[in-house]
Structure 1
């Protein structure tokens, strides 16, 4: 629609006013009002967030127990940056407890929104990269909001890292998420500058080094799963681009898939895919793909260089796309098309989710209140039974005097044995005479 209106204005010799696009997603997509309404429950008006954290922390320290609903209420009650460290601490403690399986989805999205609004994006990405310790995973909507923020602020490295998290979760059902992930990874790959090799350490004369041997129980065999073990952001970007683009067959996705296999260094798959595309008459290659092939051919090891040169030769014979349309511009158009297609449904789904999350929270709170009330009443019953037993013992003391004396004697025997053992160990320690050490005779 925007391109059509631009063409009409140019045809009529009218200079259009160019507005700089700040975000791909609109404010409506973020559903800020629906999120605030979800957290406007009367429960939050009764909470003093400082005291609430102290009570939960003391309960965890003394009993080792923490409730998922308490963490959810704390996460959604945060209004400034002063409680983000406490939230991080509570997420970690919940992850260490048996309640971690009961973490609510609203807790995860609240964590993302709080760190985006009040905290540091770098710290948020570190939390997302470490689900083993914090248990925070992205859903489609929080991923879209976070990716949109990182892309529009030109923080492509963190955006590519977030896109790789989506890839690691292997969730590709949302078109907006896939398009944003493709754009983030492509921008990071094109802007990537390989680090300069570290200078060689100065040569040192051979010195005798004393060997230190350590006894270990077993030696773990080295293993690399080529998925969760990948730590390099550029490699993750290539794999993300290849895996997400693999699910579609349009011309743009095919070009991005080529870039993905290239950066992922899966040259066998790259060669096979180039030969497949060479046979398709509808395929057109972008100039940026050929430039990336040339760039990587100059960086790879000598044995891999002929493979990339062969791929470049195959793609050079393929019909090129129009020089007016770049790969980046096509990606932006793909994002706009995905947003136009899914925006209304995503907003509606989010509003329904927030309503259901509010109901789930109320149900969990009611269940916890009943459970605590039951435990409190059980404790009162046990205390009453103990009082009745003590009263019964007083009333029937003379009838059960012999039995009580026997119990007292048994207790005294136990205490006497323990004290005797302690005394015996002390005496042996006091009477211990160390052996005399004499100098060796020459």
Structure 2
């Protein structure tokens, strides 16, 4: 066996890196938290056993694109029955089309949850993040339970980009989820402190002008609105991640929370607030001060260098805070989610029953209308000769009404005033005057 002597500084560096990797790829919530058995129990319902997903997708696609009668309950059934990556893509398309109908108002809570879990199991992180960020076109939102599942998975796999962007959705929704907010805080810090340069947006989300030198002038009728609400209109990654840190740490009084608030103010662009907090004498985490010292604002750099530094591991503290929230609240969330799954199943059954009754009522009304039309036709055949006179009078009235719609071309010229303009033009010998087109045909002679 080789006995290699490793220098102490490399031992410390290796131990620190292994510790970070251990935290990064370690799942926070337990396998029990996913409630896999309770979630799979929904498939025991008869409605899911009778559906052939490929045929069902074709039917729903036809409903939305041609018949314009797709419903929210149809999309909910499809989303809850996704079992492959292809079906996950079809679900994404159906949610996009549902959003463009009035039925989007009736979207069930189970649809959001099922869509998120389907994308986690069979879709991609990129598609899920895009759906969450494109609220106008998909209308997909995280609930408390699905937010924990999403953040836990992305933190476990080390996908800092997806984790931070999902955490920003909690800020935009202004949710007060204890476990999810703690995980979101950890996700934002890992995104900022990552040694790799990670873009906020995916490549195909950034619009690139293929002809930057070409100038296209378009005449517009209105002046564009330059107003932004600094919330839903935010597209600057620094401002989004900064406001997310401010939201998650607004009630924190410890050094980590205070340091992240300062970092959030810096990223959001509040220069005066950052300098004031750095100069008030409180301790700031060393890792945050190192980030501030790289700023292009000289006054922020000077304030960061003069601030009181605290050698504290932010990642370990945030991980510990998340773990404490999980130990305290995970058990209740698991039981509550089981009850919610059962409640969603009952709601779906009620909606299906209403839908079935409405279809039966519509079918009965249509059958009655067809029977009435058939009876009317039979009555006309049986009593045709008895009503012959009335039919003939009706025909005369219709003919007169039709003639009144025609242009008046049969005027009687003799009734007009005796003016030369209205009199018939005759030849000197009293015969009708020959028209010019007749003279032209006589001159040309018979066709050859």
TM tier relative to shorter chain: 0.7 to 0.9
Partner of 1:309: 302
Is 1:109 the counterpart of 2:108 in the alignment?
no
Which residue, 72, 76, 79 being the options, matches 1:75? 79
Is 1:393 the counterpart of 2:380 in the alignment?
yes
Partner of 1:60: 64
Q: Distance in 1 between matches of 2:186 and 2:138?
A: 28
TM-score (norm 2): 0.76
Q: Distance in 2 between matches of 1:329 and 1:223?
A: 40
- Residue pair 1:185, 1:238 contacting (<8 A) in 2 also: no
Which residue, 111, 121, 126 being the options, matches 2:125? 121
Is 1:133 the counterpart of 2:137 in the alignment?
yes
Partner of 2:289: 290
Partner of 2:180: 177
Report the more deviating stretch, 26-35 or 79-88. 79-88
**Structure 1 residue matching 2:132: 3-state secondary structure:** helix
**Structure 1 residue matching 2:63: 3-state secondary structure:** helix
Q: CA RMSD in A?
A: 2.8
Partner of 2:344: 357
Q: Distance in 2 between matches of 1:411 and 1:216?
A: 52
Q: Deviations over 1:74-121 (max 9, x none)?
A: 111121112122211211111111110111111111111111111211
Mapping for residues 192-211 of structure 1, pairs under 5 Å:
193=197
Q: Deviations over 1:207-239 (max 9, x none)?
A: 9x9x97643222223222221122233331111
Q: Deviations over 1:229-262 (max 9, x none)?
A: 2223333111101111113333322221111111
Partner of 2:323: 336
Is 1:246 the counterpart of 2:233 in the alignment?
no
Q: Distance in 1 between matches of 2:382 and 2:238?
A: 81
Q: Distance in 2 between matches of 1:85 and 1:416?
A: 61
Q: CA 1:214 to 1:366, structure 2 compared with 1: closer, same or farther past 3 Å?
A: same
Q: Deviations over 1:376-414 (max 9, x none)?
A: 111111111111111222223234334434555676788
**Structure 2 residue matching 1:223: 3-state secondary structure:** coil
Partner of 2:91: 87
How far did residue 333 of structure 1 move?
0.7
TM-score (norm 1): 0.77
Q: Distance in 1 between matches of 2:387 and 2:326?
A: 84
- Residue pair 1:240, 1:260 contacting (<8 A) in 2 also: yes
Q: Distance in 2 between matches of 1:180 and 1:410?
A: 81
Q: Distance in 2 between matches of 1:233 and 1:30?
A: 31
Pick 1 or 2: higher relative contact order, CA cutoff 8 A, min separation 6: 1
Q: Distance in 1 between matches of 2:50 and 2:216?
A: 61
Is 1:375 the counterpart of 2:362 in the alignment?
yes
Q: Distance in 1 between matches of 2:105 and 2:247?
A: 29
**Structure 2 residue matching 1:285: 3-state secondary structure:** strand
Which residue, 250, 255, 263 being the options, matches 1:259? 263
Structure 2: stretches of 5+ with no match in the other structure:
1-18, 200-212, 408-448
Q: Distance in 1 between matches of 2:64 and 2:395?
A: 38
Partner of 2:154: 150
